[in-house]
């Protein structure tokens, strides 16, 4: 089992950057695929990015590819989402999630077992 806490959200201007962090607890953290999702008001959760156990493979939604970078530091039990070239469409609550398995390309939120509380990202135009 793993517990997740996000941080790093806030306000940014169009073209700006933010870095989100997700701190995890639990002795099996490094064995989980980690993902980032986001949800805007009135809309369903959408997949943003995922990373493998070792951090050697990443997978991104087309909407953020080339702008966002996901990484993990298993020694610190933390995953990150570096967000560059932000757009107003990126405004949402961002959630960190974890699941067992190895397929990082399964982007359905229903497949993730554990979730953080979310952190708000707002991008002004």
C-alpha to C-alpha distance for 44 and 21, rounded to whole angstroms: 22
- Count CB atoms within 10 A of the CB of residue 15: 10
What confidence tens digit (pLDDT) does each residue in 63-114 have?
999 999 999 998 898 999 999 999 999 999 999 999 988 889 999 999 999 9
Q: What is the pLDDT of residue 27?
A: 65
> What Cα–Cα distance (Å) separates residue 20 from each residue in 7, 8, 58, 76, 110?
6, 4, 16, 15, 22
pLDDT of residue 118: 97
User: How far apart are alpha carbons 92 and 123 in whole angstroms?
Assistant: 9
pLDDT tens track for 10-69: 999 999 999 999 999 876 666 789 999 999 999 999 999 999 988 889 999 999 999 999
Report the pLDDT value the prediction gives residue 6, as an integer from 0 to 100: 97
Beta strands in the chain (DSSP E): 3-7, 10-13, 18-25, 33-39, 46-51, 58-60, 68-73, 78-83, 92-99, 114-115, 119-124
Higher pLDDT among residues 16 and 1, named by residue: 16
Decide: residue 25, CB within 10 A, 0-12 exposed, 13-18 middle, 19+ buried.
exposed
- Give the per-residue pLDDT at 113: 92
């Amino acid at each position: 089992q793993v517990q997740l806490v996000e941080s790093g959200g806030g306000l940014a201007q169009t073209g700006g950057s933010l870095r989100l962090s997700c701190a995890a607890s639990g002795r099996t953290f490094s064995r989980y695929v980690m993902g980032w999702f986001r949800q805007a008001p009135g809309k369903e959760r959408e997949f943003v990015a995922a990373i493998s156990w070792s951090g050697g493979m990443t997978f991104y939604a087309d909407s953020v590819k080339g702008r966002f970078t996901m990484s993990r530091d298993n020694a610190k039990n933390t995953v990150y989402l570096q967000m560059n070239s932000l757009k107003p469409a990126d405004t949402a609550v961002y959630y960190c999630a974890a699941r067992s398995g190895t397929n990082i390309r399964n982007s359905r939120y229903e497949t993730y077992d554990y979730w953080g509380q979310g952190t708000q990202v707002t991008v002004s135009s």
